[in-house]
Copies of this chain bind each other. A is one copy, B any other.
């Protein structure tokens, strides 16, 4: 049994996993890619030493990243997923029959190849005919599209590192330009326990650009701090409301979870005003 020590410089707790076997390890143009087998979590994808997901519980993250906005939007047809090379977000988006076109913008095509090879249950929809893959920088892709998208989903690695450009006011402005008039946007924004300042930063930067900004959370066991946040924005429609029938094929997301996952209003207000007492 080998031990894998996660290398997350922004976590005050280091997570250590037992590894039965390292199935794959390579270095792409952008990052180190590793696939390991853990006795509890099954296969795990690790990028630059940080666990991205595990076979056992990836659905918590992927469902929550995708389905909240997909149900808040009245008719999501054209979707962009930036990052998420594993295909987990793509799989969830395509559970919605309204979707006509999915731009899948993953800069590192080796992540896609790795997922196809080692994570068939995650990558299963990547070759769906509605999916158009672009192996380019997400910020560059977005800049070239105006008023085209119903929903833009950022499924990047942590805010630090090379995903940083996806959390700037410039990027958010480009997303806004890319959205239709009732378009919506969601991105991960780290943990309310350990990265509260980062959460506030993302929220305030989004607030400079979008008329509606909100925050919801989900419990993700393998992410540092675990109490994981998703920062969401909308051009017109509030995000807490469900506007479509709930799709049946989810394991965690539900109508109840949609309502409950948003930060309660007073707590949210405290967060934005830096009055959270931790």
Contacts and interface: CB of A to CB of B under 8 A. Distances in A.
Contact of A57 (B3, B267, B278): B278
A13 B12 contact: no
Contacts of A57: 193, 278
Interface in A182-229: 191-194, 217, 219, 221-222, 225-227
A40 B12 contact: yes
A256 interface: yes
Interface string A14-42: 11111000000000000000000011110
A251 B276 CA distance: 8
A194 B267 CA distance: 27
Residue of A14, A59, A251 contacting most chain B CB atoms (<10 Å): A14
Instruction: Give how many copies assemble into the complex.
Output: 2
A252 B263 CA distance: 12
Interface residues of A, number: 41
A160 interface: no
A105 B23 CA distance: 51
30 contacts: A3-B14, A5-B16, A12-B17, A12-B18, A12-B38, A12-B41, A13-B16, A13-B221, A13-B222, A14-B17, A16-B16, A57-B278, A60-B278, A191-B221, A193-B219, A193-B221, A194-B221, A217-B219, A219-B227, A221-B226, A225-B226, A226-B226, A226-B227, A254-B266, A256-B265, A256-B267, A257-B264, A257-B267, A259-B264, A260-B264
Given A226-B226, A252-B278, 19 more contacts: A5-B16, A12-B17, A12-B18, A12-B39, A13-B15, A13-B221, A15-B15, A57-B193, A57-B278, A59-B278, A60-B278, A191-B221, A192-B219, A219-B219, A219-B226, A225-B226, A226-B227, A251-B277, A259-B264
